[in-house]
Amino acid sequence: MAIETGEETLVTPGEVLGDSSDLIAGRGAYVAHHNGKIYSSLTGRCSIVPPLPGSSDQKPKVEIVGHKAHGAVPEPGSVVIARVTKVMAKMVSADIMCVGPKAVKEKFTGIIRQQDVRASEIDKVDMYLSFHPGDIVRAVVLSLGDARAYYLSTAKNELGVVSAQSIAGATMVPISWTEMQCPLTGQIEQRKVAKVN
């Protein structure tokens, strides 16, 4: 129970890390309301982070680091990479493959609704001229969505199609915000293209 600042010990779920009167529970730790104690909820190294100078709460924070955390799960605000599976008049469905820089073990289903494709002229969006099945899209998670899918949005410059294959089967090159070109045939296809840095 006497875990000193800077010291790192291995803990497992349910081990007492300290008291909420001296510490703040960080990631992998929680406060039990019945006794005010802080417990670990994960297996890992317990680390005590001193308070930032000038922050309102001057208690150090205890958190669990270096553990084998569970796989990435989409959360509102996460940037995800998804593969388009189906394009419909009012929305597209896509399989979320990565959350942030991490690949997910098993895909999650997301949908991009017509109003969430781009920021302007949202009622004029043609889904069929924005996405094709198989396109790789960068999107942000708007909300947990409904029972079936997470709601995704591409309504920012840096969001949209990041990789797409042409009808000829080649990886296309973006030429504008709305167009990509096949390097083999020179044919131009319409997409909601993500701005390349």
Partner 1 sequence: MAEKATEKTGMEGEMEVDAYRRLFPLPFYERHLLDSLRPDGRPLSRSRDTSLSLGAVSSADGSALVKFGDTTMLAAIKLEVMTPSKESPDEGCLGIEFHMPPICSPIVRPGKPAEIAPVISKQLEDAILSSGLINLKELSLISGKAAWMTYVDIYCLNADGSLFDAALFAAVAAFSHLQIPLVSLSEGGRVITVSGENLDNPAKELVNKDKRNLTLHSIPFSLTCVLHKNYILADPTAEEESIMETLLTVVLDSSSQLISLYKPGGSVLAFKTTVQDCISHTRKRVKELQKILSEALSDMEID
Partner 2 sequence: MSTAATTTYSPSPAKKQQTIFKDLDWVRSDGRGFQQCRPAFLRTGATSAASGSAYAEFGNTKVIVSVFGPRESKKAMMYSDIGRLNCNISYTTFSTSIRVQGSDNKEFSAMLHKALEGAIILESFPKTTVDVFALVLESGGSDLPVIISCASLALADAGIMMYDIVSSVSVTCIGKNLIIDPTSEEEDHRDGSFLISCMPSRNEVTQLTLTGEWTTAKVHEAMELCIDACSKLGDIMRSCLKETASTLQ
**Residues making contact with partner 2 (CB under 8 A):** 10, 12-16, 28, 30, 32, 39, 41-45, 66-71, 73, 105-109, 144, 146-147
CA-wise closest residue to 195 among 167, 151, 155: 155
What is the pattern of x (binds partner 1, CB under 8 A) and - over residues 81-120?
x-x-------------xx--xxxxxx--------------
Residue 25 binding: pick among partner 1, partner 2, none (C-beta 5-8 Å cut-off by kind): none
- Output 90 or 102, the one with its CB closest to partner 1: 102
Residue 68 binding: pick among partner 2, partner 1, none (C-beta 5-8 Å cut-off by kind): partner 2
CA distances from 176 to 31, 33, 44 (A): 52, 56, 47
- Output 11 or 92, the one with its CB closest to partner 1: 92
Closest CB 179 distance from partner 1, rounded Å: 16
Residue 73 binding: pick among partner 2, partner 1, none (C-beta 5-8 Å cut-off by kind): partner 2
- Output 16 or 104, the one with its CB closest to partner 1: 104
Q: What is the 3-state secondary structure (H, E, C) of the chain?
A: CCCCCCCCEEECCCCEEEECCCCEECCCEEECCCCCEEEECCCEEEEEECCCCCCCCCCCEEEEECCCCCCCCCCCCCEEEEEEEEECCCEEEEEEEEECCEEEEEEEEEEEEHHHCCCCCHHHCCHHHCCCCCCEEEEEEEECCCCCCEEEECCCCCCEEEECECCCCCECEECCCCEEECCCCCCEEECCECCCC
- Output 39 or 60, the one with its CB closest to partner 2: 39
The four Cα atoms 96, 98, 104, 108 give a dihedral, to 10 degrees, of: -10
- Output 72 or 137, the one with its CB closest to partner 2: 72
Q: Which residues in 121-150 contact partner 1 (CB under 8 A)? A: 136
Closest CB 196 distance from partner 2, rounded Å: 31
In the complex, which residues of this chain contact partner 1 (CB under 8 A)? 81, 83, 97-98, 101-106, 136, 162-163, 196
